[in-house]
Structure 1
Amino acid sequence: MKYKDYYETLGVSKDADEKEIKSAYRKLAKKYHPDLHQGDDEAAEKFKEISEAYEVLSDKDKRQKYDTFGSNYDFSQGYDFDPSQYGYTYTTGGSGADFSDFFETIFGSSRSGGGFSGGFNINDIFGDLGGRGHKSSKQNRNKFESELSISIEEAYKGTTKNVNLTYKSKEIEIPVKIPKGITRGKKVKVNGDKFGLSGDVLFKINIRDEKNLKLDGIDIEKTENIYPWEAALGTEKTVETLNGKIKLKVPKNFVGGNKMRIPSQGFRDLKGNVGDLYVTFNIINPTILSDEQIELYKKLNEISK
């Protein structure tokens, strides 16, 4: 049987107090609640795990029993053990239990009636999400969390993305207006009242790196290719930036892999701060060579010896 580290599941320390445990659970429950992720088995399993962890850590007696068992044998998350060697009878969730075999074995049958033994009502998390008519005030509005991925160019210029969410078995399309200059990890808030949601939706913004374009803070890293003769003789390359095209001079005897820094041609954030552009030139051979080019390569090879 796998040992479950409930503290790790909720992301709290072993000496966390009741308030910290409740706060951690609320945050995770909002993020993974099934009503916002219908059909998502991974989110449902995650919600089940954090609910089980909260069931134990929010109950004084269960937590004491769990802590005693864990500290006596110094188990860690995922550790395999035989319950019978520790005085427990192995059981399974065949009775329709909400929680894992580990929970059933240590604490007996899982919760009944749908309420947490810790006295924390699930409706406190989502207001009327469970259909009990709770109305949140502007000062204490419900907040649902989701994530949204955009390109570097979309982050730089700003965009509007239509996002589909499932709420109370209903598909909802929400237009999310993303301001220009948004950076990784920032959140965009959408008033859910307009779309039948009982609160605001917070979209955490993920910015995708691309094959030849990466965002590092507010600096942009770009990769360009040049041919061997261009590196040897020097050349001028036209490079696409977020602001448009610019021309760069590649000096003679350029070493492949070296970077060129172009000041103030990087990303501009919400506060108006501007980063730099770093262009790395890789030396490549053309995929197709003409007969004349092949002969020149042969001649170059001979005289180089």
Structure 2
Amino acid sequence: MADKRDYYEVMGVPKNATDEEIKKAYRKLAKQYHPDLNPGDKTAEAKFKEVNEAYEVLSDKDKKARYDQFGHAGVDPNFGGGAGGGSPFTGDIDLGDIFNSFFGGGFGGGRSVNPNAPRRGSDTEATVNISFEEAAKGCRKNISYQKIDSCVDCGGSGAKKGTSAKTCPNCGGTGQVRISQRTPFGVVQTSRSCDRCGGTGKVIDDPCGTCGGTGRVRRQKTIEVNVPAGIDNEQILSVSGQGNAGSNGGPAGDLRVYVNVRPHPIFERRGNDVWCEVPITYTQAALGAEVVVPTIDGRVSYQVREGTQPGDVFKLKGKGIPRIGGRGRGDQFVRMTIEVPKNLTQKQKEILQEFDNVAEEKNYQKRKNFIDKIKDMFGD
């Protein structure tokens, strides 16, 4: 326990980090080490648990305050600290009284917590891969993931069908036992979870064979999720009530779905706008022409103006990505690229040469001046 890393170090944030900075760091690390993205990687699994433990404390205002003042001892009643002697305190001290004076109870000898009170289940996570078009237009996807559910055979009680749990004789059903420890503050009394019942206040003599007495089983589940039009890469969908089951009748957590949008071979997304390149011939650029332009809604015709230059960009208004919530759409921007003809026939070469010969004098003079400058630099 004493080898625990500093929670701020685990999250990679300074001690004065804002709630938003802590949340942002958690999302990044949780995704990096998530077991679904690192199957069989025990190191990543350990990191994921460490990150979740750190976030559970730093995201809770009261726990964070205790941690900032007392370190791990402030949030973990099992965290022991040997008193190497020389303590300025003597006699027994109820550490709960110290914390109560700062935080108004809830630690050690403060107000007790009902171990059988309903508790919300934790959130679980999954990843969905979708195409560029599915992200733009929205879709419905079947998502398979693992979650913890109440055991059907025992109804979540953990006891074999026809039997029931009994009140724990060690803690009298409170789920907490008081212990005395020697710490840098002297000998103090604290409360911790009862070892006999694991903090539940109940013991099971004849456990359920399906769940092993836990009342919960892990299973694979598949649900259909609505992916809204306009969703972007790395955004998160929250599906209420589809997370891990709660305990003692508490509600289930949520399912958090990380969206991964595959890149498109033609389109590039920039916010809610779409960009693409359209090649046209030398003649089309010079004379103008009607060309076909791909969009996420299908092909459209566009009149290229006469004298179009390489890199010119035109806009197709309202042909971009829908904004989530139906608040209009972005635009599509099309960059023109001009294909220089290759493998010309003799006749084609003669036509181009004739075109060059009858070019306007000022354009010819510009080319001549440029060639003269090159000669001056490098010689004939």
Question: Does residue 165 of structure 1 match 2:214?
Answer: no
Q: Which residue of 1 aligns with 2:331?
A: 276
How far the C-alpha of 1:285 sits from its partner, in A, is: 3.6
Q: Which residue of 1 aligns with 2:236?
A: 187
Alpha carbons of structure 1 residues 229 and 136: separation in structure 2 relative to 1, 3 Å: farther
Equivalences, count: 230
Q: 1:219 aligns with which of 266, 273, 276?
A: 273
The amino acid that maps onto 2:273 is D
Rg (Cα) greater in structure: 2
Overall identity of the aligned pairs, in %: 26
- 1:152-195 C-alpha deviation (Å, 9 max, x unpaired): 32122211223333457754434322122334554323356499
What TM-score, normalized by structure 2, do the two folds share? 0.46
Mapped contact 1:136–1:142 kept (Cα < 8 A): no
Q: Which residue of 2 aligns with 1:252?
A: 306
Q: For 1:1-305, list aligned pairs within 5 A.
A: 7=8, 9-15=10-16, 36=36, 39=39, 41=41, 43-44=44-45, 46-47=47-48, 50=51, 58=67, 136-137=119-120, 142-167=122-147, 170-184=219-233, 186-191=235-240, 193=242, 198-269=252-323, 270-285=325-340, 289=343, 291=345, 295=349, 299=353, 303=357
Q: Which residue of 1 aligns with 2:165?
A: none
Q: Secondary structure at the match of 2:135?
A: helix
Distance of 1:235 and 1:254 partners within structure 2: 10
What TM-score, normalized by structure 1, do the two folds share? 0.56
Alpha carbons of structure 1 residues 45 and 302: separation in structure 2 relative to 1, 3 Å: farther
Alpha carbons of structure 1 residues 143 and 301: separation in structure 2 relative to 1, 3 Å: farther
How far the C-alpha of 1:250 sits from its partner, in A, is: 1.1
Mapped contact 1:10–1:24 kept (Cα < 8 A): no
Whose RCO is larger (CA < 8 A, sep 6+)? 2
Q: 5+ unaligned residues in a row in structure 2: which ranges? A: 58-63, 74-114, 149-217, 247-251, 365-380
The amino acid that maps onto 2:336 is F
Mapped contact 2:232–2:261 kept (Cα < 8 A): yes
RMSD over equivalenced CA pairs, Å: 4.7
Instruction: Between 4-13 and 206-215, report the one with greater CA deviation.
Output: 4-13
Alpha carbons of structure 1 residues 188 and 14: separation in structure 2 relative to 1, 3 Å: closer
How far the C-alpha of 1:221 sits from its partner, in A, is: 1.2
How far the C-alpha of 1:202 sits from its partner, in A, is: 1.6
Distance of 1:302 and 1:159 partners within structure 2: 54
Q: Secondary structure at the match of 1:142?
A: coil
Distance of 1:181 and 1:21 partners within structure 2: 26
